[in-house]
A and B are shown apart, each in its own frame.
Chain A
Amino acid sequence: MAVSAFEFEKPIAELEELLSALKAPEKRAEAEAQGIDLDEAIATLEGQLRQAMRQVYGHLTPWEKTLMARHKDRPYSLDMIRLIFDDYMEMSGDRLCANDEAIVAGFAHLAGKPLAVTGQQKGRDLKERQRRNFGSARAEGFRKALRVAQLAARFGKPVVSFVDTAGAAADLRAEQHGVSEAIARNLAAFSVLPVPTVAVVIGEGGSGGAIALGVADRVLMLEHAIYSVIAPEGCAAILWHDKAKAAEAADALRLTAQNALELGLIDEVVAEPLGGAHRDPAAAAAAVREALERHLAEIGAMDRQELLDRRYKRLRSFGVFGAVAPDAEAPAEGE
């Protein structure tokens, strides 16, 4: 599979190129003529390739993960939906003014069980990207997602969200139609949605536009996905007035799935196939599917009030504080 290579993937790309050249039929005749054991050479190289891949992909820097999360061949929400669910029927529109194609929402079956699904969709070619605003939703998209989720909740169906966006749209129309209100509304409404919910960050979890689909009972991230309050480029511009220092900013922001797990902000990191989800989307989807089934079975068995209480407790637990000196003047909390 031809995959575009990043700088850090160059050693791997070179080995792959060498391998595919050796595997050409004319090379076999050439090797035999010279008495070289081609199969042994190929096996050795394949071993080196596996080792190089484990080395490279097992030790990606936060910036390299950012590049992986944004990879143009990475499976997007609709790819995940197609690969994970038995079927899928998309629904459209916010019932107010528009159908924002930056977000998809609809119904699907997972191992025969019905649920609602929503996610940002970036678009594969330029035409689709423009139609979907590169996966950057406006208010209309967030309102569509909420409409479908609340309909599912009325009928007791769980909701699965796929998060993959550079961020919400920040243009004139987004502002005119209340993108901030729509994000806020989703945060509030998903926090009290009376059905089991799972969110999976499959690529880029870009700030407010991401978390607008990210409030759930269980939050999972793919191994090379990122989740951040601000893009590393934006952070670098603010901190050092230099967008080129994005790699340093990515370190500082601690935006990897592994960081989010350490910070206690997500529940699980779902392993990707060696080399990243884009090298084997079916395997990536299978891993997500396994995790989804497992988590939905756990939270699906819970009493609904308990589920909501746990969800609130989880959200309330987010925050890290410094030493709190005793306060003589103010009454103690809960008085």
Chain B
Amino acid sequence: MAAGWFGRRSKAKAMESVPEGIATKCGGCGEIVFAKDLDRNMQVCLKCGHHHRLSARARLAITVDEESLVEYDRDLAPSDPLAFPDYVAKQSAAEAKSGLRDAMVTGVATIDGAPVSIGAADFAFMGGSMGSVVGEKVARAMERGIEKRLPVVIFSASGGARMQEGLVALMQMAKTSAAAARLQAAGLPFISVLTDPTTGGVFASYASLGDLILAEPGAIVGFAGRRVGNQDLGTHLPANFQTSEFQLDHGMVDRIVPRKDMRPTLAYLLSFLSPEETHGR
């Protein structure tokens, strides 16, 4: 449940933090690919189509209309409620690595002109794990949807609940899910987008509560880590176990959407989920 298992390691850096390398080994095909090529193609491998991870800011940049994002709660910062070993040091290292105070960026923006309350997780900050700040930002994004009568779109990329915040982190599952329930009761839609990886306590809370659930191809999506499953059971697992494709096969995901199609797909779906436009009125 807790984030400790981070799935497949990808050496790819997000768009804006590439300069340190001019080339990188693709986690999909193993070929050496140029960073410039990845940059030009939304961090999707030109050779094999492997979707490399994106930072939260890069994600928002390719998703929302230019200049439309108004970020909220930017400085909401983590604490150390349990005085957990090395947590404060990990926070500093994660902040240096990601340029963020915690693993979620939220705000209000437009997608092809349609206003949304939006959020994107950042795996570079402690594996995108959900502690108090991520939980609070997700809950506020839902509540902002209710206040401003906006659909909510959240991109997840998380190993699960943040172990270093213990039970406080586990409670974020309940908090975000309760906020999602309120959003639904208020008649507003929630589109959940699962990106690599979405597992554990995030997949088992708000991320699975989308009225519609989209996923990027090849993303690790599942309850427990695949390694845990293998160890505990020794059973033969299907090759695509705990991927977007597996979850689609089992009815947990509406569509698998390649990165280049995500923005138009969201725009199309949002037009259906708008309360204003109905027939016969």
The interface of chain A, by Cβ under 8 A from chain B, is 167-168, 170-172, 174-181, 183-185, 187-189, 191-192, 207-209, 211-212, 214-215, 227-230, 234-235, 237-239, 252-255, 259-260, 263, 265, 311-312, 315-316, 318-327, 329-331, 333-334
Contact = CB atoms under 8 A, between A and B. Distances in A.
Contacts of B179: 316
A311 B242 CA distance: 34
Contact of A191 (B169, B174, B208): B174
B76 A175 contact: no
A334 B238 CA distance: 48
Contact of B200 (A185, A208, A212, A239): A208
A90 B205 CA distance: 28
Given A230-B1, A263-B81, A315-B178, A329 B204 contact: no
Nearest to B229: A170
Contacts of A171: 229, 232-233, 235
Contacts of B75: 324-327
Given A175-B250, A179-B223, A229-B201, A315 B175 contact: yes
Interface residues of B, number: 73
A176 B251 CA distance: 9
Contacts of A319: 132-133, 135-136, 168, 171-172, 175
A178 B203 CA distance: 10
B147 interface: yes
B99 to A, nearest CB: 15
A171 B165 CA distance: 26
B239 interface: no
A211 B171 contact: yes
B177 A329 contact: no
B252 interface: yes
19 contacts: A168-B1, A172-B235, A180-B208, A184-B204, A184-B205, A184-B206, A191-B178, A229-B1, A229-B161, A229-B201, A230-B2, A235-B4, A312-B182, A315-B178, A316-B179, A318-B132, A319-B175, A320-B81, A327-B74
B107 to A, nearest CB: 8
B55 to A, nearest CB: 18
B71 A318 contact: no
A208 B139 contact: no
B264 interface: no
Contacts of B242: 175
Given A215-B178, A234-B2, A228 B76 contact: no
Contacts of B132: 318-321
The winner among A172, A177, A192 for most chain B CB atoms within 10 A is: A172
Contact of B167 (A265, A311, A323): A265
Given A214-B174, A320-B81, A229 B74 contact: no
A331 B167 contact: no
B29 interface: no
B224 interface: yes
B38 to A, nearest CB: 29
Interface string B131-160: 011011001100000010000000000000
A174 B224 CA distance: 10
A234 B133 CA distance: 24
